[in-house]
Amino acid sequence: MGLVEGKVEEERLFGDVVFPKTLLPSNTGEDLAIAVAKERNRLSEALKEHGAILFRGFDVGSAEDFSRVVEAFGWEEMGYVGATTRVKMANRVFSANEIPLDQSINFHHEMALTKEYPSKIFFYCFEPAPLGGETSIVPSNVIVEKMEEQMLKFMEKVSDIGLIFRITRPKEKIQGSAIDNSWKCLLKTNDVVEAEKRAREKLSCASVMFNDDGTAEFTYGPVNPVRKFGGKKAWFLPILGYSENKKGVDISFGDGSDVPREAISAYKGILEENCVDLKWKKGDILLVDNLSVQHSRRPGKPPRAIYVSICK
């Protein structure tokens, strides 16, 4: 057998389930792609149980090596929809987004606001940051459970009338901004009519409005941010903006009334108390069940190179 159980210092237990599960090579020189191909079923089961699996200590030295490992799982490829700029590094492999490393990226499920979202996401560490830059993960069912414990009234109201998410995007990239947050980049067109059509096709928004100042306002909901996948609840829709410096996300209850600040701070507190900050080692591959686990990025020092791949 090519894979043996391992352990990382930062892992934790939820009930009696370790998070994430770590797998190491049984012998030096073990080829991860070959080991994965032999144990696909066992790995799928382990992913369902643990939500995240870390493969550490294998000789995965390049985007091409990573691509072979992704292929070995045999899951269908999926393309990206999103305003972050990603560079293709190898077959099925992209650079992670270009948000400057000194900023954090908030917890989210990948592509939660698009109609089709990946069921799995792979991260590969080509180069760990010299300081910080951890990928942090948290079981999404735990967020729901703790919110129900701490904020029951809020959760009942959310389940009754839902939340409305309003995201405003400029037409053009904002000058001096490190990332392109524009609707033009998100929808890959300049044309308002075409943009509206693509938004309706690709995004799960209820409506999109193009304003005279060129901005577009995407409205999602009223919708319950909590979904159920395979019998497990997940806090699927992001109530925090994508990154700390990115404005333009506005939430309210389904009837338009304000969401209490305590609910947002309880949510943030629960994320911080229940997450695992994974300290990357070169060559690590982290496989995450995108339907049961949220991920985020901690600020760090460059250089850092994490590549990603997503599956249907």
Q: Are strands 105-108 and 293-297 parallel, antiparallel or unpaired?
A: antiparallel
When the beta carbons of 25 and 97 are compared against Fe ion, the nearer one is: 97
Q: What is the DSSP string of 182-212?
A: -HHHHHT-S-HHHHHHHHHHHB--SEEEE-T
For residue 214, the minimal CB distance to Fe ion (Å) is: 27
Which residue's Cβ lies closest to Fe ion?
A: 110
Interaction pattern, residues 208-247, with Fe ion; x per rule: CB under 5 A = ----------------------------------------
For residue 3, the minimal CB distance to Fe ion (Å) is: 26
For residue 250, the minimal CB distance to Fe ion (Å) is: 21
For Fe ion, how many residues bind (rule: CB under 5 A)? 1
When the beta carbons of 138 and 195 are compared against Fe ion, the nearer one is: 138
Cα-Cα-Cα-Cα torsion 165, 48, 152, 138, nearest 10 degrees, comes to: -70
Q: Tokens 């969401």 correspond to what residue?
A: 259
- Residue 176 burial by CB count (10 A; 0-12/13-18/19+): exposed, middle or buried? exposed
Q: Considering only 55-63, 104-112, 124-132, 202-210, which stretch makes contact with Fe ion by CB under 5 A?
A: 104-112
- What whole-number distance in Å separates Cα of residue 8 and Cα of residue 189? 45
When the beta carbons of 135 and 182 are compared against Fe ion, the nearer one is: 135
User: Residue 132: which of 287, 278, 273, 274 has the closest Cα?
Assistant: 278
For residue 203, the minimal CB distance to Fe ion (Å) is: 16
Could you say which of 110, 134, 196, 289 contacts Fe ion (CB under 5 A)? 110
For residue 110, the minimal CB distance to Fe ion (Å) is: 5
When the beta carbons of 195 and 288 are compared against Fe ion, the nearer one is: 288
When the beta carbons of 182 and 243 are compared against Fe ion, the nearer one is: 243
When the beta carbons of 73 and 242 are compared against Fe ion, the nearer one is: 242
For residue 13, the minimal CB distance to Fe ion (Å) is: 25
- What whole-number distance in Å separates Cα of residue 254 and Cα of residue 163? 5
For residue 108, the minimal CB distance to Fe ion (Å) is: 6
Q: Helix/strand/coil (H, E, C) string of 86-106?
A: CCEEECCEEECCCCCCCCCEE
CB 25 within 8 A of CB 57: yes
Answer yes or no whether residue 65 interacts with Fe ion by CB under 5 A.
Answer: no
Q: Which two tokens stand for residue 227?
A: 């979904």
Kindly list the residues in this chain that would bind Fe ion in the complex (CB under 5 A).
110
